[in-house]
Structures are given as C-alpha cells and as structure tokens.
Structure 1
C-alpha cells in the first residue's frame, strides 16, 4: 500500500511538476498524506558574533524565506487542494533530510523531479536525485520535467533475472491493483542465447507475479539504454522500473557515468525499487 508520499522540492519548475504529478497520483490511489520537503544547509561563517547567534539568525531568516516559497508554490498548484498535504523544511543536506524524514514519517514512496531527456547531469537538487535513487530504502519515483500524469497502464521492469524478494515487487503489484497495470519484464542482453541460469531465474521471478497480467520480453541490444527506450516507445510504456541492487549488474550500471543516461534520459517516470 502507498499511503504516505514524500516530495523533495527546491521550488523550481521541475520540482513543481513532480509535486503536480505526485498530487494527482495521491488522489487516484487515495493516499493519506502528501508531504513536501525542502532541505537547506546553512553556511558556516565566522565573525564577532558567536557561532550559535549567527546560526540562530540564519535559521530564522532561512525559515522565513522557505515559508514564503512554500506558500507561493502551493498557491500555484491547484492539484494540492484535492489531497491532504503539508510541508516541512530541514537544515540538512537533501539526501540526509530525505532519508531521515522517510524513516521518521514511514514514507511509502518518494517522488522527485529531474530535468529529463536532455539533463544527464542537469538534475533538480543537483546530483542528489541520483544519490537518493541509488541508496534509498524506499521506492523512489523520478519524474522528468516534461512528463504529464496519466493512468499507469503499462509498466516495464528492466530485470537481470536475478531472484527477487517478494517485497521488491509489492509496489508493482500495488499499481496493478489500482490501475490494472500490465507488467512487462524486460531483459536486455548483447548475447543472442539466454543461459540456463537466466531461464531458471526467470522462472523464479515468474512466481512473484502470479495472478497479475505480466509478460516476459528478451531484447538483444548492445546498448541497454537504446534497447529499453525503443521498447518503451514501441509498447507505449507509462513507467519504467529498475532495481538498483547493491551488488550485480544494475548496481554497477548505476555507478557508471554513461549509464546515468538510462535514468535521466527517460521521458517517462522511472521507479527505483530497493531490493
């Protein structure tokens, strides 16, 4: 179940689009809370005033500015009026604030914005979107700047056929229940023959998707990004899902600079599911 959604914001247009998407999603899935989070890190300065006095003044000034920014952003997004929501701000690095708030508030889904198809290193909140996506213990839904909300009818899970825990596919099952989504299990390989080990692992994966609509697809392509994006366009996929496991193919992929194209060049929402 997805009941509590956390949306980090830096008050940019990209972040606004992510909030807009999250609000419409929250309405469709009947979420109980949509929490907007702004994190800022105050600079350390020295002078005649004590450090504590400087920090207190800076925090007060920053909090006032953030309050105004939240008010402006919320007023520009009528979608928020249709769902329960509130905002919080933290004096912390964004990745630390997201991790802390996600645990403290029992968040089910984190929604973040990215500048999308032409922004491999032009990510809202800097490179933190990549860091959060890779390391989060909670599912993270990355929304390209130009993506518009629509019912999630087809989801492509890029899989290396490694055995999955049932908890890692719970979020996909949830979307299937809400939207009757079709699950496409897509394996990209530069080899024309699937191994016996991969066949066995695919059978294991199949057990997790009993009683819901799903399909296996084996695609030969030396360029993983090209293979997946071609499939997305051909099948009109609404969401791409990945599992950035701590070991194995996708973890090494996430850590290669060229592979970030797979994440930030996608023109559709991308769901990173922790293993």
Structure 2
C-alpha cells in the first residue's frame, strides 16, 4: 500500500493549518496529492438559524434567492484556498468547496477521491461536551473508510524517527499492517510495539513479549522494539509510554463504534486521539 491521496479538511483555523503543514510534509516524502476540502453547512431555507443570511433580518422560501449568496461564498472561499496553496510551493494541492454536513461529506469524499489518508487538526474536547457532542475529528475517525491522522500542535518540519504502535496484537487487518510498514519505511523510523497491561487485564511480561514478537516476525517487520507497559488504564498507558519515548507518532486501531455502543463502550483510540498532544493515526474497522 502507498499514500497517493491525502485529504485535509480545513476551516482556515490554526488547527487545520497545522494539519496541512503535516500533510505537506508527508506529501513531499511520498509524492502524494493533497485534496484541500472546505465544507460549508447547507443553508436550510426559511430556517431561523439563517434569518440574517443576507444581513436583512428576513428569510424566504424561494431557494433562488440564496443562489447569489452561495455563489459569492464559494468565490470568497476559493480565493482563500488559493492563498493557502501559494504557501506550499512544490506540493500538488487541489481545492474543493462543498455545501454539506462535514462528517457526511468527508465519508463520501474519501470513497469518491480514493483517499489513502485523512489529516485533520483538532483541539479535542473533554467532560460533558465529549460525552454529548464529541468532535468533528472523533466522528470522522468513527465513520471514515480511511486512516485518520489527528494533529493537535504545529509540527514543522514533520519528521518521524520513533513511531509507537499500540495494540492487542490480535486480528490486525492486512491493510493496516501494510500502511504501518509503508510509513515506517518512507521515513526510516523505528517502530515501538507496545501492549499496555492494566490491573484488569493482567498478563506476564514474558507472555506479552512472546505475543508481540510473534506478530512482528509473522509480518516481517524490521527495526522495531517489543514493549509491555503497566498502567492504570490503556489510554493513559499509551500516552505515558509515548511521552517517555518522546515518540513522533502514535498508531492505533479502533472499533469505530457508533450510537449507544459508543456511549457505553467508547473507544480507546478515540480517547487517545482526543487527549494526546502527539500526532496519532487511527485505523477503524472500515479500513479494509
């Protein structure tokens, strides 16, 4: 597997620009094309949320009245995207402006554009907002049929020397393994395989190391270390291990649960993506 198409959703925020910096760094290494996507929420004609859409304090049931506004909005947005593109000379970037709901359109765009990797900026959310609302990034991780690289901070230049792959090392899909190997080889990085051992899932260090070693040898990995890490929870253990190592990137798989299943069981990968300050690539169950 190779990375040929990278999708970067942008709202022109600092976080999305940080994501574009990282995507550009990957594109230079892989000769990939970046699709820079800005999605505008679809106006609902006559809805109170759009009362002041023309700055006149009134609405209309005639969709034709909204067309000049939408055309102007597209024109202004494309100008902004062109300005962003000029900052990344030597990187193949195509811009896209769409009226839709962000998560839904990204899920559709990934299939249409044959996206290999999504790179998204994120602030992360916590507390009651995390339980009730979540974040755009978290929802994309759950739904998109492509790996998602979450970026929290400005990282320039983007280099990978140490990559953490945290897993149970059971039933890891072939495409996930291929992409891990591709990224490791492309950047010449060392892979650090780790399984976090908590009080609720205790196993001996010897058993853990044998499991990971068998995984690495079966899939013919080179330049790697084998690690078990004891901590109170898997999410905190992964973050702590990555901090101790000063890792440049974390990689994880997620079940991509939705609805009540997500509320009850959650996802360790989504938790790490939400709270870790380091970049993290998540592979969900749709990535097959």
Tell whether the 8 Å contact from 1:166 to 1:208 is kept in structure 2 after alignment.
Answer: no
The more displaced of 129-138 and 211-220 is 211-220
Alpha-carbon distance in 1 for matches of 2:175, 2:148: 15
Paired position in structure 2 for 1:71: 82
Alpha-carbon distance in 2 for matches of 1:242, 1:99: 20
Distance 1:48 1:246, change over 3 A: closer
Distance 1:134 1:200, change over 3 A: farther
The structure 2 residue matched to 1:171, chosen from 176, 179, 187, is 179
Residue 60 of structure 1 and its aligned partner are, at CA, apart by 1.2
RMSD over aligned Cα atoms: 3.1
Residue 183 of structure 1 and its aligned partner are, at CA, apart by 1.5
Paired position in structure 2 for 1:19: 20
The structure 2 residue matched to 1:88, chosen from 92, 96, 101, is 96
Paired position in structure 2 for 1:146: 154
Alpha-carbon distance in 2 for matches of 1:207, 1:132: 32
Alpha-carbon distance in 2 for matches of 1:102, 1:96: 10
Alpha-carbon distance in 2 for matches of 1:259, 1:273: 9
TM-score normalised according to structure 1 size: 0.83
Tell whether the 8 Å contact from 2:45 to 2:59 is kept in structure 1 after alignment.
Answer: no
Corresponding residue pairs, total: 264
Partner of 1:43, secondary structure, is coil
Partner of 2:225, secondary structure, is strand
Paired position in structure 2 for 1:263: 273
Partner of 1:267, secondary structure, is coil
Unaligned runs of 5+ in 1: none
Tell whether the 8 Å contact from 1:168 to 1:274 is kept in structure 2 after alignment.
Answer: no
Paired position in structure 2 for 1:210: 220
Distance 1:227 1:196, change over 3 A: closer
Alpha-carbon distance in 1 for matches of 2:206, 2:227: 16
Q: Deviations over 1:87-143 (max 9, x none)?
A: 001111111111111111111111000126xx54799xx811100012221111111
The more displaced of 253-262 and 237-246 is 253-262
Unaligned runs of 5+ in 2: 47-57
Alpha-carbon distance in 1 for matches of 2:275, 2:264: 13
